[in-house]
Amino acid sequence: MTGKTDFSVTHEPITGFAMKQNIHPFLMILLMFCLACVISVETANADIIREPVYAGSFYPATGSGLKAAIEQLVSQVKPVRVDRPPHTSLKAIIIPHAGYIYAGLTAAHISRVLKESRFSRAIVMGPDHRIGFQGCAISDVSAYETPLGSVRIHGDAVRLRRDKNLFRSVPLSDRLEHSVEVVLPYLQYFLMEFELIPIVTGQGRNLDKRVSVALDPLLDQNTLLVASSDLSHYLPYKDAVVRDRETIEIILNLDADKLIHRENAACGKIPILILINMARRYGWKTVLLHYSNSGDTAGDRSRVVGYGAIAFYGGSAMQHKIDSPQSLDKHQGQALVRLARQTIAEKLGKPSIKADPEDLEDTVFQANRGTFVTLTIDKQLRGCIGNLDPSESILAGIKRNAINAAFHDPRFPPLKPAELDRVDIEVSILTEPYPLEYRDSKDLLAKLRVHVDGVILRKGTASATFLPQVWAQLPRPEEFLSHLCTKAGLSADTWRKSHPEILIYQVQYFEAAK
């Protein structure tokens, strides 16, 4: 023992390997057959392409006709400079999804911000108009086809669907919904090559907040968020202009509460609220690009539909994640600390101050995140277990890791009832790990951020991690990496000689209030 804190990671409950079971051969064959069926279904879906449903009605049916239509609309956009906030880049847009003869002029104004963009991934969120379902639909096809070509589905769509309480495939929506399909040609025209995560939002309590939390780890400089939405529907022209201008002002001011309670504001209210949630979290600024309604383009003025194009600008998304790893506040953090202590106390059969059930109903706790629970007595480690991958909700992870840290850390005997009152508990909430690209060991040392980054080191089958808290004991990056290599069962200089895979993540951690 060196006396230095060792933050271990356990990916599976240790008790899960303590029991041997005999499986009947017939059941094993049946299990393998079922698994093969599941795998074959996944493979089949991977080859399915969603064909365009609204080509020839909402927009031209041929590639040449569609390209010409978009070019003609773009030619009408006045070359006015966008008043972009300084030191920012484009993060998200709102774009209408009505037929091109009606909404195309407003939609074409995204040309003012997308002409020189570099996005390789677009998360396009549109509202459900036709089916009615809880949560959100994410297609399980391999690509969306339009007359301009195919757009492949990004692999993170599969990861999002693992959260079955929030995302799932809804084939009927895939066949009938237009809100995602109709905006794709605009993105194809301006972005050229990109991959897609198509999300159709349904119904559900706090759905916008839950989706915001789920999408947060995907934000980076290469990802564009898109809310597909029209504004008011079927008001007389003058009434629509007044109402839409008020709604646009609410959006520009990021006033989520007013938008939630506003009637006939926007059919894509939930996608817009998701953008507002992100904008408020990361300090994004809004810029109105254009407004019109169908009475200005191809419809009569007795019953019109409104259209707005709005851009969202912000600084480096990654920098915001470093400064504030995610969206928990101190009150939420203390609720998790109380939950961890309550969970351990109940296992020991001892009384404890219970976490307020109402506090634990906060939707942010339903997000899938990596979590750690660390126990210390007199500042000496007494147990630390966690999971890096966001495979379960924050609540479930804290409860499971509290039990494992107290009773299943292989470095320590199980916690005794007499020790509970002396134990200090710390809970850590992790961002999703992402690869750190580096040229050589010198470049690696330069890129690691002391007291900020948690680090995962992998070489072959060997791997280990240190939470950012370990920097307090190992503040020199060379020493930090050498100890991490040793922990992984590798030679201490592996990080210098063998170019191991490095992933980093950030942590928000909470201790009991003193």
Exposed e or buried b per residue across 459-487, where buried means at least 16 C-beta atoms within 10 angstroms of its C-beta? beeebbbbbbbbbebbeebeebbbbbbeb
Beta-carbon contacts of 464 under 8 Å, excluding residues fewer than 6 positions away, are 9, 456, 457, 484, 485, 487, 488, 489
Domain boundaries, the chain: 45-320, 325-431, 434-508
CA distance 389 to 370: 5
* pLDDT tens, residue by residue, 1-30: 333 333 344 333 323 323 333 445 444 444
Average pLDDT score over the chain: 87
Residue 367: Cβ within 10 Å count: 24
Q: Is residue 403 scored above 70 in pLDDT?
A: yes
Q: Name the band, by pLDDT with cuts 50, 70 and 90, for residue 400.
A: very high
Query: Which of 32-46, 183-197, 322-336, 383-397 has the weakest average pLDDT?
Result: 32-46
Q: What is the CATH number of domain 434-508?
A: 3.30.1490.150
Span 67-76, average pLDDT: 97
Look at residue 45 in the predicted model and tell me its pLDDT: 56
Q: What is the CATH number of domain 45-320?
A: 3.40.830.10
Q: Is residue 436 scored above 90 in pLDDT?
A: no
Span 137-157, average pLDDT: 96
Q: Which residue has the tokens 């993060």?
A: 91
* pLDDT tens, residue by residue, 32-64: 444 444 433 343 355 799 999 999 999 999 999
Which range is most confident: 24-38, 39-53, 156-170, 325-339?
156-170
Look at residue 320 in the predicted model and tell me its pLDDT: 44
Look at residue 318 in the predicted model and tell me its pLDDT: 41
Q: Residue 109 carries which side chain, given as an amino acid letter?
A: H
Span 452-478, average pLDDT: 92
Span 106-131, average pLDDT: 92
Query: Which of 78-92, 451-465, 485-499 has the weakest average pLDDT?
Result: 78-92
DSSP-based three-state secondary structure for 501: strand
CA distance 8 to 385: 6
Look at residue 192 in the predicted model and tell me its pLDDT: 85
Cβ–Cβ under 8 Å, residues 340 and 420: no
Residue 85: Cβ within 10 Å count: 14
Identify the CA nearest to 312 among candidates 349, 270, 259, 276. 276
CA distance 100 to 319: 38
Span 147-159, average pLDDT: 95
CA distance 414 to 404: 9
Q: Report the Cα–Cα distance between both ends of the chain, in Å, rounded.
A: 29
Identify the CA nearest to 76 among candidates 39, 107, 122, 51. 107
E strand or H helix that includes residue 224: strand 223-228
Cβ–Cβ under 8 Å, residues 286 and 252: yes
Look at residue 26 in the predicted model and tell me its pLDDT: 45
Q: The domain at 325-431 falls in which architecture?
A: 2-Layer Sandwich (3.30)
Look at residue 506 in the predicted model and tell me its pLDDT: 87
* pLDDT tens, residue by residue, 488-502: 999 999 999 999 999
Alpha helices in 182-316 (DSSP H): 184-191, 207-215, 237-252, 256-260, 269-282, 294-297
Look at residue 316 in the predicted model and tell me its pLDDT: 57
Look at residue 83 in the predicted model and tell me its pLDDT: 85
Long-range contacts of 289-292 (CB under 8 A, 24+ apart): 289/82, 289/106, 289/109, 289/110, 289/112, 289/113, 290/77, 290/105, 290/106, 290/109, 291/106, 291/244, 291/245, 291/248, 292/103, 292/105, 292/106
Q: Across-strand partners of 501?
A: 458
For 490, phi then psi, to 5°, come to -110, 165
